[in-house]
Amino acid sequence: MASSPPTPRPRYASARRGLTGLTLAGAAALVAGLLGPASASADDAFVSDADTSSNVTHVTNVPKTESMSDFNSDLAFTGDYAIGGNYNGFVVYDISEPEDPQIVSEVLCPGGQGDVSVSGDLLYFSVDYPRAGTECGAASVPTTDPEGFEGIRIFDISDKANPQYVAAVPTDCGSHTNTLVPGKDGEHEYVYVSSYSPSERFPNCQPPHDKISIIEVPVDDPASAELVDAPVLFPDGGNTGTSGCHDITVYPTKDIAAGACMGDGILMDISDPAAPVVTEVVRDTNFAFWHSATFTNNGETVTFTDELGGGGAATCSEAIGPERGANAIYAIGDDALEFQSYYKIDRHQTATENCVAHNGSLIPVPGQDFFVQSWYQGGVSVIDFNDPENPREIGHFDRDPIDDDRLVLGGSWSAYYYNGYVYSSDISRGLDVLKLDDPRLRAAERVRMDEFNPQSQPEYRPGRGEGR
C-alpha cells in the first residue's frame, strides 16, 4: 500500500545496493523465489531500546533475516497475517499471537521497494526497477532496455507457507506503489498503479507521464489481469516537477480517492473505478513532494503528507520548522480543498536521524479521527485530529538514533493499526509491534477486520464492530 524510497530515486540501470551477488536467483526463477519458513535470530528476552509515551508499549520486534537484508517497506494485512514488502521481495508474518509474531515464509523477488496490497488469496506486488523477465529471479537490466519488465506481479497466497507466482502486468514507468480498488460488480477488482520519473532515454517510461495505470483483475481468473486504461490526470500538465503520482488512497464506500502526485494533491471521483475523474487539484508552496494521503472517517477532510528530502534527510529539526516535511490537512469543500492546518511532530530529532512525514492510517475508533503515522527515525506518532485546525500528538514511539555520528537511513516506513495492535515496518530493524492503552482509543479494540490495505480505506461506523 503506499511508500517511497528512503532517498530520491533516479531510474538507473545497475543493480542497487543489496541486490548484487544474488545467490538464489536461479532457484527463485523456478518457482516464486520461496525460501520457505524462516525465523529471525533474536535474543530470548526482548528488550526495547525506544522511548515511548505512557500510553504506548513496545511489545516486541521481529528482526529482519539475512535473505531480507535490504530495506523493509510497506505492509498489508489479511486474517491472521501481515505481509511485509522489502526491496528483496516480501515476508509473510503469522500475527495470530500479536505479541509473538512468526515468519511463515519469505519470497525472494527483487524489483524495487515491493509495495503490497492483498485481496482474498491474491497479493499484488509492485516492481519499479526493471528486470529481464516477469517472474521472480529475473536479473536486473538497464532502464534503457525496451524488453525490461516493470509493473505488477500477482501471487496466490492461499498457502501462506508457499506463495505462488500467478502472472504479471507491465505498466509504463513500472509500479512504485499500488492501490487496490474493489469493483462494483463483484466480479472484477482494480489496481491503481502510481509511478513517476520519466525520461526520453527510457523506452518504457516516456515523458510526459501525467497519468496512472489501471489494471483490471477478474476475481475468478487473476491470470487474465490486464491493463485497461492509463488515464491522464493532468491534461494541461501538472505543477513544476509533477511527472506522475507517488501514491493514491481510495475510500470505496464514499467513491472518492486522494492522489499525492509529486507537485500536486488531487481528489478523484471513483464511482466508476475503471475510469477515475479528477475533481480538485491543490498546491502548497511549503510542500516539496506530495507523498501520500488519508481521509477522515466521514470523508470530509483529507490529510496529505510531504516527504521533504525524499525520506533521507534530517528534517525534524527546529531549523526546518513545523510547516515543511509535515502533514497538511484540508477540508473537502464544494469547489476546492480548503487548508486547515499543518501537523508535524515537535519531538526534534538529531542531525543523524532521517525524519519526515510518512505512511500511516486511521485508528478505527468509529466516528472519530485518530491517526497513527510513521516518521522514519522520528518513530511513530499517535495523533488526534478530530479538530482539523488543531491536531496534536497524544502518544509516541521513538527509538534512539541508529548511529550517533553519521546519518544512516532507517526508521519506521509504515505504521498501521490492525485488530488491536500497531504494526510498524522498520526499514533496517524489522517489524515492531506496539500496543496502545488510551481511553480515547479503546473503542478501536472492538473493531475486527478480515483484511486491511491502508490505501484502500474502510469506513468505521458508530455502533459497528468492524470496518466497512
Tell me which fold the domain 33-452 belongs to. Answer: Methylamine Dehydrogenase; Chain H (2.130.10)
Cα dihedral 145/151/156/159 (nearest 10):
80
Residue of 456, 464, 403 lying closest to 116 (CA atoms): 456
d(CA 72, CA 86): 4
In this prediction, residues 131-158 reach a mean pLDDT of 97
Q: Answer yes or no: is pLDDT of 4 > 70.
A: no
Find out whether 454 and 414 touch, Cβ atoms under 8 Å. Answer: yes
* Unique residue bearing C-alpha cell 470505496: 252
Q: What is the pLDDT of residues 373-396, one digit of tens each?
A: 999 999 999 999 999 999 999 999
Q: Answer yes or no: is pLDDT of 142 > 90.
A: yes
d(CA 348, CA 398): 11
In this prediction, residues 225-241 reach a mean pLDDT of 96
d(CA 301, CA 310): 25
pLDDT of 44 reads 55
Angle among Cα 364, 368, 370 to the nearest 5 degrees reads 65
Q: Answer yes or no: is pLDDT of 285 > 70.
A: yes
pLDDT of 463 reads 64
Pairing of strands 256-261, 264-269: antiparallel
In this prediction, residues 91-108 reach a mean pLDDT of 98
**At 467, is the pLDDT very low, low, confident or very high (cuts 50, 70, 90)?**
low
DSSP per-residue letters across 339-357: EEEEE---SPPPTTB-B--
Q: Which of 6-15, 250-259, 273-282, 289-298 has the lowest mean pLDDT?
A: 6-15
Q: What is the pLDDT of residues 63-77, one digit of tens each?
A: 999 999 999 999 999
Neighbours of 17 (CB within 10 A): 9
Q: What's the mean pLDDT when you consider all of the chain?
A: 91
pLDDT of 241 reads 87
Residue of 9, 358, 16 lying closest to 197 (CA atoms): 9
Residue of 286, 260, 284 lying closest to 1 (CA atoms): 260
Angle among Cα 88, 90, 95 to the nearest 5 degrees reads 145
In this prediction, residues 300-304 reach a mean pLDDT of 98
Q: What is the pLDDT of residues 396-451, one digit of tens each?
A: 999 999 999 999 999 999 999 999 999 999 999 999 999 999 999 999 999 999 99
pLDDT of 24 reads 28
